[in-house]
A and B are shown apart, each in its own frame.
Chain A
């Protein structure tokens, strides 16, 4: 029996070696490719960092022992970021994903000193020879969610729990307003800023506040599922953020805009393995799978689902653009003329509300 085991293991080793030899490439035979991730939150936040970590796990699943992944969580976006990124670069990582906007300049500084290491910075706009950027066109998902919300609201008011007045968040609010008003011109958007990305208690309070003010659909651009729970208990609708949050309120959960980093992370890692990596700027949406919609709530009427799906498919094939003119700002001034769509530059730095959003941008 013992001998058999030994034989078997020998065979296994031989087989493994053969497979590795066949799969080719220097990487496969030598040490595994080391891929590092830097997260701004804890992976237990069930939001932004959690989703990036899901992408990391997908890498491990896809490549097995060809890659070895490392992550550092809760890395503050100040002086510490550069140290951590540098530590990853000097400890033999070949590919490093820095997953928060505040890591932009630290990433670039470290990248200068490590020309052989590949860097990928999420949500930023500065690149270098060995620094690529990537982000999701989450506004595409918000467009679909906005269409559903516009159809489903009875009070014609949609509430938006928002974090900080930065372009990414404002873009999402505007995408919802434009889409909802395209199917229901009476819709108004109420926005409450909680001045935090992550404070379940305050997010819940903001959701309750808006429900008390007559909102019957809650959307959010903060990380915790607390607003969904509030919507569930108060009997209104809600749209989830970052991941499928239906577990937190199956009746309320209309759908969710899912951040799905896995395809991108797999593709970029493969590029490094194949030595085809290049510094690129990826802004992925439905088409690339970076943005997905969670399953629609069964309570949504079939025609509304059809409307949503048509829009989603239209965005994929390019026939629909969430920011297609005419778009008016709050004062009624045309900012995108009919027949045109907003440029990526305008979307990237968006700092105005479109018509239909209540209140003023706080700055």
Chain B
């Protein structure tokens, strides 16, 4: 029974990790006051970028870097348009998704049907041999560790560092941040690029570890879920981590319920992760008028310093 639970948890970890990356990246972007709805596009480009390098070089580290870089390049387009040409963020983000899906398909043309062995598992000596927790916590691949590190790191960065403060400042009140000497556009660009790299890593996890292959549209809407998780988490990285695991967990559990022959229509079971996310968000935001305060005040607003 314990073994079974461990196996289920392992599956949940794989299902949740791409969401963790993308959601935490987007949290930093939105904390800086930028709403980038192009997560799906950045993820899918990250997926093909990573996979292409993995197949051509066979080097996992290079592949991961390529995934992050691909997402970053797409994010740069978004950042340049919204921050320097002041284009509308919502529409530009959606256009970025359209572009990303097409662009990845173009890039991936020669990689359909190719295979990659998958990311190696980094077993931490001794610890990974422990019963139960061994494989669960200490026998994962590098990206899973990195997703945990990023949740902790971003929490620390936003809450404890000067640069984190700067990010929050431009997101809360860009006029004030500008008047005390912060470069709003530069800081926001940094956040947007970070978000792109993280979305790229989420995509890379899909094409390198979760299902090590390339097929068009393989992100299948996960970028949208990540966006919803940011709101769900009320812009707190650890809550996004929890949200991703909640979503991934319920997805897997409903599959198990089907496997055990539960007599409920599969479509109804498949609705559970979405409904559960709504219910949990309502529960945590109920009668909590402070929640609104956690949304960055300048979210989605362009800024232009004249002079």
Instruction: Name A's B-contacting residues (CB within 8 A).
Output: 41-42, 44-46, 50, 159, 165, 190-196, 198-206, 208-210, 212-213, 215, 224-226, 229, 233, 247-248, 358-360, 362-363
Contact = CB atoms under 8 A, between A and B. Distances in A.
Contacts of B109: 44
Contacts, number: 119
B263 A44 contact: no
A212 B220 contact: no
14 contacts: A44-B108, A45-B217, A190-B261, A192-B258, A193-B270, A200-B206, A201-B218, A205-B14, A205-B15, A212-B11, A224-B215, A226-B213, A229-B212, A359-B262
A198 B220 contact: yes
A50 B15 contact: no
A360 B15 CA distance: 26
A32 B218 CA distance: 37
Contacts of A165: 266
Nearest to A362: B265
Residue of B105, B256, B263 most packed against chain A (CB within 10 A): B256
Nearest to B205: A201
A21 B105 CA distance: 43
Interface of B: 4, 7-8, 11, 14-15, 18, 105, 108-109, 112-113, 115, 118, 206, 210-213, 215-218, 220, 222, 251-252, 255-256, 258-268, 270
A322 B268 CA distance: 32
A45 to B, nearest CB: 6
Given A190-B259, A191-B258, A359-B258, A200 B4 contact: no
A195 B270 contact: yes
Nearest to A210: B259
A362 B11 contact: no
B54 to A, nearest CB: 14
Contacts of A359: 258, 261-263
A42 B4 contact: no
B220 A200 contact: yes
Contacts of A358: 261
A235 to B, nearest CB: 13
A204 B211 contact: yes
B222 A201 contact: yes
Contacts of A195: 266-267, 270
A50 B210 CA distance: 22
B218 A205 contact: no
Given A44-B108, A46-B113, A359-B263, A202 B215 contact: no
Nearest to A234: B7
A229 B210 CA distance: 10
B255 A206 contact: yes
Contacts of B14: 204-205, 208
A209 B255 contact: yes
A interface, over-half SS: mixed
Given A200-B220, A229-B118, 12 more contacts: A46-B213, A190-B261, A192-B258, A195-B267, A195-B270, A196-B220, A208-B11, A208-B14, A209-B255, A229-B212, A247-B115, A362-B264
Given A212-B11, A247-B113, A202 B251 contact: yes
Contacts of A362: 264-268
Nearest to A359: B261
Contacts of B8: 209, 212
A192 B251 CA distance: 12
A46 B112 contact: yes
Contacts of A44: 105, 108-109, 112, 215-216
B263 A192 contact: no
Given A192-B259, A209-B11, A363 B265 contact: yes
Nearest to B8: A212
A363 B266 CA distance: 9
Contacts of A363: 265
B53 to A, nearest CB: 18
Contacts of B115: 229, 247-248
A212 B18 CA distance: 22
A205 B14 CA distance: 9
B30 to A, nearest CB: 24
A50 B11 CA distance: 29
Contacts of A194: 255, 270
Nearest to B111: A44
Given A200-B215, A202-B251, A193 B266 contact: yes
Given A165-B266, A209-B259, A201 B220 contact: yes
Contacts of A41: 216
B221 to A, nearest CB: 8
Most B CB contacts (10 A, CB to CB) among A44, A190, A198, A360 go to A44
Contact of B217 (A42, A193, A215, A360): A42
B21 to A, nearest CB: 14
A203 B217 CA distance: 14
Most chain A CB neighbours (cut-off 10 Å) among B15, B118, B215: B215
Most interface-central of A50, A165, A204, A224 (chain B CB within 10 A): A204
B135 to A, nearest CB: 13
Contacts of B4: 212
A228 to B, nearest CB: 9
Max chain B Cβ within 10 angstroms of own Cβ: one of A42, A212, A215, A229: A212
